[in-house]
Structure 1
Amino acid sequence: MVTIDREAAPATAVAAVPALVAALAGRRGTALVLAAVPAAVALFFRDPDRTPDRPAADGPVDADTVLAPADGKVMYAGPGQEGVAPEGEWLQVSIFLSAFDVHINRAPYGGRLREVTYRPGKWLAAYSHESAHLNERTDLVVDREVDGATRTVVFRQIVGLMARRVVTRVAAGDEIATGQRIGLMKFGSRMDVFVPTDARLLVEAGARVVAGETVIARWSGGSHA
């Protein structure tokens, strides 16, 4: 089932104004053509159901599994990039969302949110290296206890050239589930995920991923609930 997120209302209303003006002016043909604009804007906010608890291609979705947080194309997958990754040793997956991708964001990993930090910034093209630390973004840090140790996964919502707002609907202290909806970004953007180096990346640059379904990283220590 596909629903439309509530963030669609103001943007769709603005997009509908030209069609309304044309209709009031008696230009029915023009109004019909212009009516496609608000319809397209509404579709940008589509929110399809996803099933993160289904068996994944290489095992069940459990405490060893990291899912894609966004639909889009993998721009980078490898060691944490200098100036992009948090301090320390990380593996990084960066996903670019075009204006045609679903923009609802999902948690790549479940646990307790230790930090949710909004940072204002610029609106550089999301595929540029500099966008990761100069653009408007929200950084989220989630901790999870596994076999007596704490695993930490960091993920980041980053707006792009067309995006002008990041929406985050979770807060520090929340318990979140892997694949849970956590917000969205408007009109073309980027998401970065940083996992510890004892995990294994399962995607490469150029791959298409689906939020809440595609497994992007996994620990090989066995299955954990």
Structure 2
Amino acid sequence: MFHKEGHKIILVTLIIVVALFLLTDSFVTITWLSTLLMIVYLVFLILILQFFRNPKRFTHRNADTVVSPVDGKVVVIEEVFEKEFFNEKRLQVSIFMSPINVHVTRHPIGGKVVFSKYHKGKYLVAWHPKASEENERTTVVVENETYGKVLYRQIAGALAKRIVNYAKVDQTVLQGEDSGFIKFGSRVDLFLPLDTNIKVELNQKVRGGETVVAGK
């Protein structure tokens, strides 16, 4: 199953790969070179298919927990001052996605979308300290009675050129359902209340929509 954001890219890539196969078969007469080129085309197609895969996830919806919005590795757990929406201290949990991770973003909690904003920006590497404030990004805040407001921020990396965000203000969303996609992108930051009980550790691998990141 592939994400809808990749359908056009997959189709174009498939057409190009088929065309390259035909051209190589017709004009490259050296057998070993022809075989090598075809393997390269096939590997490229497989990488594109893998990047846009959208595996079904089984979210155990619970108002007392915050689930990971993406697949990846926890790279930051720290208290910070969040200045775009809260203007106060929050616990930040950052998850880095490598190119081989699933890049679907999912709502970490269910509730009502109270803030959703897109920012143009730079394309610093995702682990750069200023990436959260200077890179292309979207900021979404979802509110429910248990957690109050939880902010999550999609951040483009050095290769990303477009972030897709489905969250709209006043929309009611379910925990674990699709909220966006980062095309060739890299990181998501969660900003949680200071009294949140963090359930993950640095360098832990997490699965979007399934791994519990925090609880009350």
TM-score by length of 2: 0.88
CA deviation map 1:57-100 (0-9, x unaligned): xxxx4111000001001110121257799521211100000001
Supply the distance in 2 between the matched residues of 1:78 and 1:36 (Cα, whole angstroms).
Answer: 39
**What code does the residue aligned with 1:191 have?**
V
Moved over 6 A (4+): 82-85
Supply the distance in 1 between the matched residues of 2:87 and 2:179 (Cα, whole angstroms).
Answer: 24
Supply the distance in 1 between the matched residues of 2:84 and 2:129 (Cα, whole angstroms).
Answer: 8
Q: Which moved more, 1:98-107 or 1:80-89?
A: 80-89
* Identity %, equivalent residues: 34
CA deviation map 1:171-214 (0-9, x unaligned): 11110111111111011310000111121111121111110111
- Counterpart for residue 167 of structure 2: 170
- Counterpart for residue 184 of structure 1: 181
The SS at the match of 2:54 is strand
Supply the distance in 1 between the matched residues of 2:119 and 2:76 (Cα, whole angstroms).
Answer: 22
Is residue 136–residue 155 contact of structure 2 (8 Å, CA) maintained in 1?
yes
- Counterpart for residue 193 of structure 1: 190
Supply the distance in 1 between the matched residues of 2:179 and 2:20 (Cα, whole angstroms).
Answer: 36
The SS at the match of 1:162 is coil
Q: Which runs of 5+ in 1 are unaligned?
A: 54-60, 220-225
- Counterpart for residue 52 of structure 2: 45
Is residue 72–residue 207 contact of structure 2 (8 Å, CA) maintained in 1?
yes
User: How many residues matched?
Assistant: 207
TM-score by length of 1: 0.85
RMSD across aligned positions (CA): 2.0
Supply the distance in 1 between the matched residues of 2:77 and 2:85 (Cα, whole angstroms).
Answer: 12
CA deviation map 1:99-134 (0-9, x unaligned): 010101101111100111000001100011110000
Q: Which moved more, 1:153-162 or 1:8-17?
A: 8-17
- Counterpart for residue 42 of structure 2: 35
**What code does the residue aligned with 2:91 have?**
L
Is residue 160–residue 182 contact of structure 2 (8 Å, CA) maintained in 1?
yes
- Counterpart for residue 205 of structure 1: 202
Q: CA deviation at 1:15?
A: 3.6
Residues 1:63 and 2:63 aligned together: yes
- Counterpart for residue 21 of structure 1: 20
Residues 1:157 and 2:150 aligned together: no
